[in-house]
Amino acid sequence: MIEDWPLGDLQRTTGWKPEPRDIELACDGREGREGYSNYWGKEVCSKSSVPTPRMYGFQLIDLNNDGFLDAVLASGIGYQRFFLNNPEASKGNRFIRVELKSTVSNVHSIGTTLIFEASGLEPQLREITSFGYGNSIGGGVDDRIVFGLGQNAEPVSLTVRWPSMKETVISLTGLGLGHISNYSNPIIVTKDIA
């Protein structure tokens, strides 16, 4: 249960808990809905009270492409919930997106390490450790690789260490504005097979 979590609004069931009418419709056994009563069984369909929602997955993904990760909570009983990360103090911050293209195998580049350097910032590290689903039954990951620039930093370089231990270093000095804060125009790094 999530009642003990120190996660603020993530604890609220408002807008998440199913209404009695939702339970009635799901458990009436009509064609196309008979699976609900099998899935929920005695715990939901045979009770007169509405059950407490149960979180079955927590996913972090940038829903509005602003460079900040948002949260999506999936529920086994109840509605899915979306939490938009909209920090007021971060307005005007910029980001850069990178996309890796493996040329032979390991198409998702699992095992790759990226080190991004920008003026006035500490180096940023990303490791590709999975693709698709996260570690929970309903979890997931945002597979986009994003590095923050703040409001004033300029990209300097990107070092990509592939699983084969081959290293690609790209100078990003003077990178055009078309790549900054633009999800549709990532920096594409292709693994050199030589």
Q: What was the pLDDT predicted at 1?
A: 40
What residues have CB less than 8 Å from 10, skipping those under 6 apart? 2, 71, 73, 81, 83
Burial class (CB in 10 A: 0-12, 13-18, 19+), 170: middle
Q: What was the pLDDT predicted at 161?
A: 92
pLDDT, averaged in runs of 10, over the chain (194 residues): 48 65 72 58 64 72 76 75 73 85 78 94 89 58 82 93 89 85 84 58
User: Phi then psi for 128, rounded to 5 degrees?
Assistant: -90, 110
Q: What was the pLDDT predicted at 154?
A: 92
Q: What was the pLDDT predicted at 70?
A: 82
| Predicted structure pTM score | 0.62
- The number of C-alpha atoms within 13 Å of 17 and in the hemisphere containing its C-beta is 10
Q: What was the pLDDT predicted at 132?
A: 65
Q: What was the pLDDT predicted at 24?
A: 74
- Maximum pairwise Cα distance, the chain: 67
Domains of the chain, CATH where assigned: 8-83 (no CATH), 92-190 (2.60.40)
Q: What was the pLDDT predicted at 194?
A: 44
